[in-house]
Amino acid sequence: MFEGIDLALVNWSRAQFALTAMYHWIFVPLTLGISILIAIMETIYVKTGNPEWKRVTKFWMTLFGINFAVGVATGIILEFEFGTNWSNYSWFVGDIFGAPLAIEGILAFFMESTFIAIMFFGWNKVSKKFHLLSTWLTAIGANLSALWILVANGWMQLPVGMQFNPETARNEMVSFWDVLFSPMAVHKFIHTTTSAFVLAAIFVIGVSAWFILKKRELVFARKSILIASVFGFLASIYTIFAGDSSARDIAHHQPMKFAAFEGLYNGSEGAGLVALGFMSTNSSDPKNENLKDFTMKIEIPNFLSYMAFMKWDAFVPGIHDLIDGNEKYGIMASAEKIRRGQIAIAKLKEFKTAKDAGQVQLADSLKTEFMSADFQKDYFKYFGYGYISDPKTLVPSVPLSFYSFHIMVGLGFYFLIFFVFAFMYVIRGKIHKKRTFLKIAIWTIPLAYVASQAGWIVAEVGRQPWVIQDLMPTMAAVTRISSGAVQVTFWLFAVVFTTLLIAEIKIMTRQIKIGPKSEGGHN
C-alpha closest to that of 397 among 405, 408, 409? 405
> Do 455 and 188 contact (CB within 8 A), yes or no?
no
C-alpha closest to that of 265 among 246, 244, 237, 285? 285
- pLDDT exceeds 90 at position 295: no
Strands 466-468, 472-473: pairing is: antiparallel
Which amino acid makes up residue 205? I
What is the model's pLDDT at position 2?
45
Neighbours of 315 (CB within 10 A): 19
C-alpha closest to that of 449 among 401, 397, 492, 501? 501
pLDDT digits (tens, 9 = 90+) for 169-200: 888 899 999 999 999 999 999 999 999 999 99
Query: Is residue 429 exposed (0-12), middle (13-18) or buried (19+ Cβ within 10 Å)?
Result: exposed
What is the model's pLDDT at position 291?
80
- pLDDT exceeds 70 at position 338: yes
- The single-letter DSSP state of residue 498 is H
H, E, C per residue of 151-204: HHHHHHHCCCCEEEECCCCEEEECCHHHHHCCHHHHHHHHHHHHHHHHHHHHHH
What is the model's pLDDT at position 73?
76
**How far is 253 from 337, CA to CA, in rounded Å?**
15
What is the model's pLDDT at position 279?
86
For the chain, the average pLDDT equals 90
Distant-in-sequence, close-in-space partners of 446: CB < 8 Å, separation ≥ 6: none
pLDDT digits (tens, 9 = 90+) for 396-418: 999 999 999 999 999 999 999 99
Task: Compute the average pLDDT of residues 476-484.
Answer: 87
C-alpha closest to that of 241 among 205, 271, 198? 198
For 357, the 3-state DSSP assignment is coil
Which amino acid makes up residue 19? L
What is the model's pLDDT at position 449?
96
Strands 315-316, 288-300: pairing is: unpaired
What is the model's pLDDT at position 520?
52
Confidence of residue 86 (pLDDT cuts 50, 70, 90): confident
Task: Compute the average pLDDT of residues 109-123.
Answer: 83
Any idea what the Cα angle at residue 517 is, between residues 507 and 126, rounded to 5°? 100
What is the model's pLDDT at position 284?
67
Confidence of residue 519 (pLDDT cuts 50, 70, 90): low
Give the DSSP letter string of 63-111. HHHHHHHHHHHHHHHHHHHHHHT-HHHHHHHHHHHHHHHHHIIIIIIHH
For 281, the 3-state DSSP assignment is strand
Residue % of the chain over a pLDDT of 90: 68
Q: Helix H segments across 319-395?
A: 319-324, 334-356, 360-371, 373-378
What is the model's pLDDT at position 521?
42
